[in-house]
């Protein structure tokens, strides 16, 4: 392979990040005829790599503060900057801090309490499922807001399907209470330390997590006020 060629194989780091999958056609459909007219379309699914410095604006100062606080071994929070953070991604002027899950509460508390950071508000929790991101299939994303400094930042943490546990941020950001329950309900992420991690929208006896990409589409009967509604593929018969 020459230096001008691009390696599209899944799992191979590319110039813009790691390629975790390659989709063909408009919707990635396989084993059926392509009637979209986009059958020759090839699209890489890429997870972004770390962004090199300088980031620009206040983002460099923010990263410097995190590095100083987390890297100070003489303090109670000193765990090492590289130990706590996987990478920092800056895209379109927005910063996403990828955190190792064991250190998520420490990083979140630092962002909340340090006077130069003061991200006092967490706007929620979003789950993401990347089936091809082997060993890191489940992601949780936390958008944070600093009311004091009028700034925004995202925390992102990953966990494997085989061990879908992430520390709860309920004690640090109480607003994550219902959001963590919803992410557990729809994606199966288990937030250790949450005071009542139960389903919030699906019935308690529901099997599976409906927003995962490996969850079956359709074909599920629904019960509504005592009536049983058949799955979509059984509701009509065309003769």
Say how far apart CA 108 and CA 153 lie, in whole Å: 11
> Domains in the chain, start-ordered, CATH in brackets?
7-49 (no CATH), 50-192 (3.30.460.80)
State the pTM of this model.
0.78
How buried is residue 19: exposed, middle or buried, by Cβ count under 10 Å (0-12/13-18/19+)?
Answer: buried
Closest CA to 13 of 61, 47, 55, 63: 47
Question: Sheet harboring 13-14: ordered strands across?
Answer: 13-14, 17-24, 42-48
pLDDT in the model for residue 46: 84
CB atoms within 10 A of CB 121: 14
CA dihedral sign of residues 190, 194, 195, 200: negative
pLDDT in the model for residue 92: 87
C-alpha torsion angle, residues 53, 57, 63, 65 (rounded to 10): 140
Structure tokens at 232: 């979509």
Say how far apart CA 15 and CA 225 lie, in whole Å: 54
Say which residue the tokens 């400094």 belong to.
Answer: 149
List the beta bridge partners of residue 17. 14, 48
Closest CA to 158 of 95, 100, 206: 100
Closest CA to 46 of 19, 7, 15, 13: 19
Q: For residue 142, say if its preceding peptide bond is cis, omega within 30 degrees of 0.
A: no
- Tens of pLDDT along the chain (239 residues)? 344 444 444 444 444 678 888 877 766 556 556 566 676 788 888 888 889 989 998 999 999 999 888 876 445 555 667 788 999 999 888 999 999 999 999 999 999 999 999 999 999 999 999 998 899 999 999 999 999 999 999 999 999 999 999 999 999 999 999 999 999 999 999 999 999 999 999 988 888 999 998 887 766 667 777 787 777 667 665 55
pLDDT in the model for residue 173: 97
Distances (CA, A) of 58 to 37, 54, 89, 117, 150: 46, 10, 14, 11, 11
For the chain, list the strands marked E by DSSP. 13-14, 17-24, 42-48, 85-91, 94-99, 121-122, 126-129, 138-146, 151-159, 165-167, 190-192, 222-224, 227-229
């Amino acid at each position: 392979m020459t230096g001008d060629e691009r390696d599209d194989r899944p799992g191979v780091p590319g110039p813009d990040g790691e390629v975790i999958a390659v989709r063909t056609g408009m919707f990635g459909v396989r084993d059926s005829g392509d009637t979209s007219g986009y059958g020759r379309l090839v699209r890489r699914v890429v997870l972004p790599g770390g962004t090199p410095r300088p980031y620009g604006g206040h983002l460099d100062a923010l990263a410097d503060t995190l590095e100083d606080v987390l890297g100070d071994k003489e303090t109670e929070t000193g765990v090492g900057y590289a130990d706590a953070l996987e990478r920092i991604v800056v895209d379109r002027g927005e910063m996403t801090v990828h955190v190792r899950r064991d250190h998520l509460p420490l990083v979140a508390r630092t962002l909340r309490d340090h006077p130069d950071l003061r991200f006092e508000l967490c706007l929620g929790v979003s789950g993401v499922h990347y089936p091809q991101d082997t060993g890191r299939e489940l992601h949780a994303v936390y958008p944070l807001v600093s009311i004091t400094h009028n700034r925004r930042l995202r925390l992102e943490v990953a966990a494997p399907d085989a061990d879908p546990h992430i520390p709860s941020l309920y004690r640090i950001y109480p607003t994550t209470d219902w959001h963590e329950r919803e992410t557990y309900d729809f994606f199966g992420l288990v937030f250790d330390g949450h005071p009542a991690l139960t389903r919030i929208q699906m019935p308690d006896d529901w099997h599976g997590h409906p927003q995962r990409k490996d969850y079956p589409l359709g074909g599920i009967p629904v019960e509504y006020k005592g009536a049983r509604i058949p799955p979509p593929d059984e509701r009509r018969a065309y003769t």
